[in-house]
Structure formats: C-alpha cells, structure tokens
Amino acid sequence: MEGATIKKLIQDVKLGKNIQNIRIQKSMSQADVVVKLQLLGSHLSLGHYAHIEQDRNNINISDLIYLQRIFEVDFSEFFKDLIP
C-alpha cells in the first residue's frame, strides 16, 4: 500500500452495526480485530475502529477487504439488511 492513494467508502448507509455484529459473532474484541488489521498493514487505531462500528467514521476500502479476510465472511454480510 506504500505510495498508494487510500480510498474511502462514502457511506450513505450505515455499515458499523453489521461490522460490530459480525465481530461479536466471531467472539472477537475490538482490540483483537485492530491487532489483526495492523498485522495485515492497516493503520487503524482502536479508537478509529470503534468509531467505524459506531458509524462515526467512514472505512477505507482496504480495511473493509482486511475485515472480510479476518472475519472470513462474504462481503454481502457487511451490507446485510441495509436499505439506502
């Protein structure tokens, strides 16, 4: 990712609750997730991740891809039951 432009999703629907629900289903703490994200190359802090789950911050596309790998879920799980 070095030298790459980081893209963010402009969230017009709220992904945070779905991300939180998946994390809880996987019996992981926010800190567990952040450690795994950082090992994959993310620069997210625990506070920033918490704000994503609270829909207070947008998520980088790369971080959403990392979360898909960490949680081992289909991308559709992040968008489940969302209505634009």
- 8-62 pLDDT, tens digit per residue, is 656 667 899 999 999 999 999 999 999 999 999 999 999 999 999 999 998 999 9
Q: What is the pLDDT of residue 14?
A: 85
9: left (phi over 0), alpha (psi -120 to 50) or beta: beta
Residue 8, CB-side half-sphere exposure with 13 Å CA sphere: 8
14: left (phi over 0), alpha (psi -120 to 50) or beta: beta
pLDDT band at 1 (very low <50, low <70, confident <90, very high): very low
pLDDT band at 4 (very low <50, low <70, confident <90, very high): low
